[in-house]
């Protein structure tokens, strides 16, 4: 991982969204990829009960399979 940058948080009720970005370098190909990233969390009684992570998986796969 080259970086993980948090941009902003939005919270409403028991849900929290994080918008940011991340970048990786593939060890095999040397290709770097940067992509926006969004996380969704849901909390209940102070504990995380749901989590989803969204980012551009097509870019990540392209970096991993580049010649």
* pLDDT tens-place string over residues 3-61: 999 999 999 999 999 999 999 998 888 899 999 999 999 999 999 999 999 999 998 88
Question: What's the predicted TM-score (pTM) here?
Answer: 0.79
For residue 21, the model assigns a pLDDT of: 97
Q: What are phi and psi of 21, to 5 degrees?
A: -150, 165
Please give the structure tokens belonging to residue 29.
């190909």
Please give the structure tokens belonging to residue 32.
């770097």
The full set of domains in the chain, from first to last, is 3-57 (3.10.450.50)
Residue with tokens 């995380």: 48
């Amino acid at each position: 991982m080259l970086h993980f940058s948090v941009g902003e948080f939005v919270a409403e009720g028991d849900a929290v969204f994080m918008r940011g970005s991340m970048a990786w370098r593939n060890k095999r190909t040397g290709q770097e990829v940067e992509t926006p990233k969004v996380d969704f969390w849901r909390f209940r009684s102070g504990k995380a009960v749901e989590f989803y992570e969204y980012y551009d998986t097509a870019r990540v796969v392209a970096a991993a399979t580049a010649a």
